[in-house]
Amino acid sequence: MGSGRNVAVFGAYGHTGRFVVAELRERGYVPLLLGRDQDKLQAMAQSGLEARQASVDDPASLDRALHGADAVINCAGPFATTGGPLVEAALRAGIPYVDVAAEIEANVDTFARFAERAREAGAVVVPAMAFYGGLGDLLVTTAMGDWTAADEVHVAYGLSSWHPTAGTLAAGAVSGQRRGGRRVRYTGGQLEYHDDALPTLEWTFPAPLGPQNVIGEFTMADVVTIPSHLAVPEVRTYMTAKAAADLFAPDASAPVAVDERGRSAQTFVVDVLVRSGGMERRVVASGQDIYAITAPLAVEAVDRILTGRTKATGVVSAGAVFDAPDFLRALSAYLSLDVPVDTRG
């Protein structure tokens, strides 16, 4: 448990940030509430927590905000704006940094800009420690097992719906601008930008979801995290067509809480298929609310870093720095996991 250690949460009053704060408190950590909006911070601080106003364009304010913190979790997007300044501040403070970035380019930036400095400092910087990027990486790493390489990875997201937060929409807009409206995929061992139309395919999820129409090459942060440490030249991700339509609807609505934890009714299945030669390995995870599940992912990461249960330093993805199967088992209260045996492709 957290034993009263302080963990700063930047963007604490955001949708995902609130889940992270609640998860930290449940595990015995003391969340420090960080963000730009003083009024929102003070409203949250009424529950007895300390609020510290800080802005990414004011490094001194970040240094003050991280004083006395044992780690920082960045929940404030767009991460193209917040990621770099927060990593810099964490390195100055000598504390671990974890974020929940789903933005592909922002995650690429973190690896490119800070890999050498973080490694030289013996620091741990974990980007994309979230539903997109982190969970997929843990599942793929678990599926790989004793394989040192694979021919291709497929990650199919079976979302029942997708009511995006304002942060998701803002981050998507930033990524779209950075790509000049193009799409991105990971093929031939590298990211490739293109203008091709995305295909609609059928993916057979495990029961009870079964066959679903999915959007092919609906590329998520997994194309950054997985190849960062696994020798896989092809990483393809898919999204149920219904969820994609929800996300891009002109009147897209935000998630609505349906239980005491604040989770929405959204359910998800993440179906991972890894192929090597003629063999296939498959791992499946299911649960409720993609934003809510990000909180135990990020907090479990911080807990493992602070208790020395890591395998690497520098800028590292979840599968590279943690024991992936053990990490997933630790989330059994939030995730149902199925790890079948090898099959012939």
What pLDDT digit, counting tens, does each position of 292-324 carry? Answer: 999 999 999 999 999 999 999 999 999 999 999
Phi and psi at 84, nearest 5°, equal -55, -55
Token pair of 271 as six digits = 């179906």
What pLDDT digit, counting tens, does each position of 116-172 carry? Answer: 999 999 999 999 999 999 999 999 999 999 998 999 999 999 999 999 999 999 999
Distances in Å between the alpha carbon of 106 and those of 11, 82, 111, 128, 309? 17, 9, 9, 9, 26
What is the reported pLDDT for 35? 97
- The 8-class DSSP code of residue 196 comes to P
What pLDDT digit, counting tens, does each position of 41-73 carry? Answer: 999 998 889 999 999 999 999 999 999 999 999
**Ranges in the chain annotated CATH 3.30.360.10:** 131-289+325-344
Dihedral of alpha carbons 93, 96, 100, 101, sign: positive
**Ranges in the chain annotated CATH 3.40.50.720:** 6-130+294-323
pLDDT classification of 345: cutoffs 50, 70, 90:
low
| CATH H superfamily, domain 6-130+294-323 | NAD(P)-binding Rossmann-like Domain (3.40.50.720)
Alpha carbons 55 and 34: distance in angstroms, whole number:
9
Token pair of 25 as six digits = 């408190």
What lies within 8 Å, CB to CB, of 18 at 6+ separation is 12, 44, 262
Mean pLDDT score, 277-294: 97
**Tell me, which fold does domain 131-289+325-344 have in CATH?**
Dihydrodipicolinate Reductase; domain 2 (3.30.360)
